[in-house]
């Protein structure tokens, strides 16, 4: 349960030590396609949150008389409910939010694996909500990323498509044993793997947001480098490079 009083932050200065004509202070209220104006002065929140998570088909094995779980033998399924109630704190947000997530990894072929994550949800009786209370999606605008490769967007603005309506996000990531560079034995023997991924986002205003990318995993055993492009309504928008921690370390030792 959460009881909170939130206040919007405003800039108190526009001073800078390096004057640049092409740079200026931006407000602390981000751009959002649904709300248009995300500014607020004060907002209250009285909310509850519940989550149920299960691996319904999880398998186990016995090793030295010890029971061990078999990783990736079952998808991980989570259902969450979040609600805000009016009348408890001043100017409180009022809404009900249901969220469903399923994620699984399938070994395919020789040392290949396919990871899929699906996240869908909806709001109902959503009243007097601010940007803070909406459903947000894991975006990134810096070249460095620490987010999970399966379950995050690489080029998405942090709050651009945050929503208080229906939504669906689908993340697909396939790691190859051999693709391009890894066809060279010297590259493959260093443990390097290549991957391709596709991320999709559907909200009321997202315009079928899509990312398509290629990555190299396990550089110096721990790093990954990715190139990615994004699209709105099937039309190319931009591209970028991302550097992060390698995904699926289990694949490194298989």
How confident is the model at residue 253, as a pLDDT? Answer: 47
Pick from 17-31, 72-86, 100-114, 146-160: least confident:
17-31
| pLDDT at residue 206 in the model | 95
Average pLDDT, integer, range 22-27: 78
For residue 66, give both structure tokens: 């010890």
pLDDT of residue 95 exceeding 80: yes
pLDDT in tens, 74-89: 999 999 999 999 888 8
Structure tokens at 50: 């519940």
| Counted domains in the chain | 1
Rounded to whole angstroms, the Cα distance separating 229 from 59 reads 38
Separation CA 112–CA 188 (nearest Å) = 13
pLDDT score at 93 = 86
Mean pLDDT value across residues 227-248: 91
Q: Could you tell me the residue range of the domain that residue 140 belongs to?
A: 2-252
Which residues, listed in sequence order, are joined to residue 240 by a DSSP beta bridge?
228
The residue length of the chain stands at 254
Chain segment 114-155, per-residue pLDDT in tens: 999 999 999 999 888 889 999 999 999 899 988 888 999 999
Please state, rounded to an integer, the average pLDDT across all residues of the chain.
Answer: 90
Lowest mean pLDDT among 36-45, 174-183, 225-234, 236-245: 36-45
**How are beta strands 76-84 and 235-245 bridged, if at all?**
unpaired
> Two tokens at 55?
């691996």
If you write DSSP's letter for every residue of the chain in order, what string do you get?
-EEEEEE---------SS--TT--PPPSS---TTTS----SEEEEEEEEEEEEE-TT--EEEETTEEEE-TTSS-EEEEEEEEE-TTSSTTB-EEEEEEEEEEEEEEETTTEEEEEEEEEEEEEEEES--GGGSB------SSEE-S-STT--SS--SSTT-BSS-EEEEEEEEEESSSSGGGSHHHHTTT-EEEEEEEEEE-SSS-SEEEEEEEEEEETTTEEEEEEEEEETTEEEEEEEEEEEPS-GGGG--
Q: Average pLDDT of 45-69?
A: 93
pLDDT digits (tens, 9 = 90+) for 177-233: 888 988 998 888 888 899 999 999 999 999 999 999 999 999 888 899 999 999 999
Residue 23 pLDDT greater than 90, yes or no: no
143: CATH: 2.40.160
Q: What is the pLDDT of residue 248?
A: 56
């Amino acid at each position: 349960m959460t009881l909170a009083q939130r206040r919007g932050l405003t800039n108190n200065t526009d001073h800078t030590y390096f004057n640049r004509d092409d740079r200026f202070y931006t407000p602390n209220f981000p751009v959002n396609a649904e709300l248009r104006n995300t500014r607020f002065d004060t907002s209250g929140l009285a909310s509850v949150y519940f989550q149920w998570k299960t691996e319904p088909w999880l398998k186990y094995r016995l090793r030295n008389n010890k029971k061990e779980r078999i990783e990736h033998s079952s998808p991980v399924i989570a259902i969450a409910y979040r609600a805000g109630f009016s009348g408890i704190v001043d100017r409180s947000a009022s809404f009900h939010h249901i969220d469903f997530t399923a994620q699984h990894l399938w070994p395919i072929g020789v040392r290949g694996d396919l990871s899929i994550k699906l996240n869908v949800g909806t709001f109902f009786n959503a009243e007097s909500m601010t940007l803070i209370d909406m459903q947000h999606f894991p975006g990134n605008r810096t070249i460095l990323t620490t987010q999970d490769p399966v379950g995050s967007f690489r080029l998405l603005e942090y709050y651009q498509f945050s929503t208080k309506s229906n939504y669906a996000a689908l993340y697909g990531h396939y790691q190859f044993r051999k693709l391009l560079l890894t066809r060279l034995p010297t590259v493959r023997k260093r443990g390097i793997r290549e991957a391709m991924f596709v991320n999709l986002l559907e909200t009321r205003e997202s315009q079928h947001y899509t990312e398509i990318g290629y990555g190299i995993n396990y550089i110096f055993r721990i790093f990954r480098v990715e190139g990615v492009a994004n699209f709105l309504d099937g039309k190319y928008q931009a591209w970028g490079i991302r550097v992060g921690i390698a995904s699926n370390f289990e694949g490194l030792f298989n």
